[in-house]
Structure 1
């Protein structure tokens, strides 16, 4: 049992810390809005991932396998949402502190939607539910274990990526630097869609 819990811990750390749509968005939000204003986004992403993992463990995987059309719908909707976010990030310029009051970072709900519409998040959650089902025979207990593990790991990971964005903000001095950095972050977010369709 302790070996399996260690494996789960290692799995959720690697799954949440590696670059992807959520980590790129946390970095971009930290750079554009700072850490404090990015907290609702990060909370939404962590909540979205935790709830996704819990539902996968509770039996949602069976429904998705029974209705493959749902997987296609999720891929299309998720890809469209991520491309829209990538465009927003990629075309934004430097933060204008006077105009920032009018601009708002992604919300708690926006962060949760990012995960609910992200097939990579679904693949992670479904893979974890299948791989660690032997932890307990009780689906609700498994849902609590996976939901907690993914939620906590996501909070740590997103905090690190957002802080990296805040540090990036301090390093960028000119409007040209900001445009290049935002274009790179937007392209990375768009590129995170490729594995969704290649899997």
Structure 2
């Protein structure tokens, strides 16, 4: 229901959401770039795969993924309750697998990122600036 409502209002809120999204990404880029190269974890423990996987369920990107997929790809062509239910289950499975892979790679690359924090932070900040600018590209 939320996706259907958002889809009907999308043209009206698009510009405001682009500006807010770009501003937030630029803020994140600044924070990532300025963050310390010293990584401190609670109690000296490294982040585990399980904690990374659990954290993904509090990640707003999961919800934005679902809203975007429903609003742009599914609602324009599918109108039956059974079809929407099937797509909801499919999107949930795809989202969960993405979270699983994300947490797995995060655990696998943790030591590499710790050793090269300044380089990783710089690359991530540049990519965030690029993403913010690409929100306004119409092509």
Aligned to 2:8: 62
Q: 1:104-128 deviations in whole A, cap 9, x for unaligned?
A: x98865x22x566x6x876544221
Is the 2:33–2:125 Cα contact (8 Å) retained in structure 1?
yes
1:95 shift after superposition: 1.5
1:151 shift after superposition: 2.7
Q: Does 1:189 align with 2:133?
A: no
2: CA distance, partners of 1:186 / 1:159: 24
Question: Equivalent residue of 1:74, what SS?
Answer: helix
C-alpha change, 1:125 and 1:163, in structure 2 (3 Å) is: same
User: TM-score scaled by structure 2?
Assistant: 0.65
1: CA distance, partners of 2:106 / 2:82: 36
Q: CA RMSD in A?
A: 3.4
Question: Equivalent residue of 2:123, what SS?
Answer: helix
Gaps of 5+ in 2: 46-51
1:60 shift after superposition: 3.1
1:168 shift after superposition: 2.2
Q: Does 1:157 align with 2:104?
A: no
Is the 2:25–2:132 Cα contact (8 Å) retained in structure 1?
yes
Aligned to 2:18: 75
Gaps of 5+ in 1: 1-53
Aligned to 2:73: 128
Compare CA radii of gyration and give the structure with the larger one: 2
Question: Equivalent residue of 1:192, what SS?
Answer: helix
2:30 to 87, 92, 113: 87
Question: Equivalent residue of 2:136, what SS?
Answer: helix
User: TM-score scaled by structure 1?
Assistant: 0.49
